[in-house]
Structures are given as structure tokens and as C-alpha cells.
Amino acid sequence: MVPLDENEPVSVDADFLIAVTEIIFWASVGDLEKLKTFCKNKAFNFKQAYDYDRRSPLHLACVNGCRNVCEWLITEAKVDVNFVDRFGNTPLMGAVLGKHDACIRLLKEKGGKVLEEGFLVSLEDSCVLNTHRTSELPKMDAQYIELIYLASEGILPGLRQSRELLSSGIVKDYDDRTPLHLAAANGKLEAVDYLLSIEVAVNAVDRFGLTPLEGAMRSNLPVRDKVVAALERHDGKVYQHGQLVPSNEADIKAPVVKQTKNFDHWEVQPRGIQFGEKLGEGAFAIVHACMYEATLVAAKILK
């Protein structure tokens, strides 16, 4: 199985985050020359180059049909052709959704696969083409991608430069999430405060029916309560049953409880795990297919 490890170590260096934003931006618009120039002048770790939804530069290049960028990223930058984003999509799936035949052919030649039921399979062995996932992805303005990423990382200088655009309410991602959604869900309190100060829509509803307030409430971050309080001071609400309601009147199906120090009831006993074949290996761990209480799972063994 392919693990979606959201706890993977990432750089918190501000310069690195800005560099990631630039690279993803250029990949998404197909500007190969700027991508080459940037990477020639700086030593860059592409293993950590992905956005708030774990979409890599290759994901964005494939979705937008930028074949030349895709080829360079795979052959020269040596990116992972089967990197999986937060929603279980590989770059090949993005190319299929965007109906970009040239990118599809290239990715298949380079070993590109799609993720299905936890396993990477070839496009021919997959049933994704016969499911609802083949609907086209909406196109996104490249500047929107950059602003949403900046909000998700709490990078205020970049946000301040686009105050008018942010205030317009038109900046959204593929899932109708606004910069405020991402800043709130990622616990970027200063970014939340700034966005609220310029009067962005506090109760925008994304494709999943979530407002920024509910996204913040579902997080386990230390600043969660402060983010929730900031949103509620600006009349932040939760969207349920077709209407906006205060959080204390909402019936959240999967509320997130505060973190406790006692995790004994979550502990998995190693003797109950039956290790199977090795699935992959990264810089920090080796992944095996395993059986645990008659369930197929993936186990990561730290090096």
C-alpha cells in the first residue's frame, strides 16, 4: 500500500517556502526556462517541493498539460513520477483528468501509475476511467495558486501585496477553498487575522461543505482555539443543513477532541502484525505491506 504520510518532515525555512511557491507557479504555467534558471542557480530539494495539498510541481504541470515541464521534472530534476497528493492522486491521474494525451503518454513511458484502493497500478489495470473521478478539473489562475499557498504557510508579505485581489473573494482552489480556509486549517493565526482585517468572506463554503471555522475546529494544532476565537469574533459560522449556524448549535459529525497524553488505547502491539513484502523505501523509513487483525495495512519502519 502507499502511505499518505502527512507527518513527513518538511522544511520551515522561509526562503525554501518562497522557492517552493515559485517553482510550483512556474510548473503550473509551463515556464520551463524560468524553472531551469532558478534550479541552476540554487541547490533545490524537490522531495519536499509540494503545496498545502501535497501537489508537486509535476502534479500541476500534468493537470495543465505542460508536457515539456513534465519531461524536464522527471528526467532532469528526478522527481517522483508517482508522488501521491492529499486526495490520493498521482500526476498521471491529473493528466487523465485534464485529458492531456501527450502528458499521459510521457508519464506511462516513465512508469507513471494511478493509486487505486491503496495500490499503484497501471492505467490499463485501473478502473478509474469508469468512475466519477474522470470529471475535468477546473482551471485555476496561476496567481490564485500562489496566494492560496502563501496563506496556507502564513507568509504575510506576499499576501499584503495582493490585498485588493484577496478582498475580491474570487481567489479559490480546485475545491472552492479560499486563502482563509487554508490559513485557518493550518493554524496560521497571523494570516487569519490579516485576512479578516481586509474583510474577506469569513463564511465561504468549500466543495466539501466546510467553512473556515469548521476547518479550524477540526484541526489538532496548538493554536486551534485562538484561530477559532478569531473567526467567531468576525461572525464565523458552520454550514449545516443548507444554512450557516453558530458553532455551539452545529452538529459536527466528526468533532476533533483536544489532544491528551494518554495514547495507550491507540497502541498497536507489534506481535499482532504480520509483515509482508517491501513496498518502498525513503530517506527516513522502509514501508512494508502487512496484515493486522485480518486487515491489509502498510507499516513504516524508521531507519
Residues in binding site for ATP: 300
User: Is residue 60 within a helix (H) or strand (E), and if so which, with residue range?
Assistant: helix 57-63
3-state secondary structure of 231: helix
3-state secondary structure of 280: strand
Q: Phi/psi at 277 (nearest 5 deg)? A: -70, 155
Cα separation values, 237 from 125, 225, 244, 303, Å: 44, 14, 6, 44
Grid coordinates of 292? 493486522
84 vs 94: CA distance, rounded Å:
11
Q: Please report, in range form, the residues annotated as the binding site.
A: 300
Is the separation of the CB atoms in 202 and 235 below 8 Å?
yes
Residue 64's nearest CA partner among 157, 144, 170 is 144
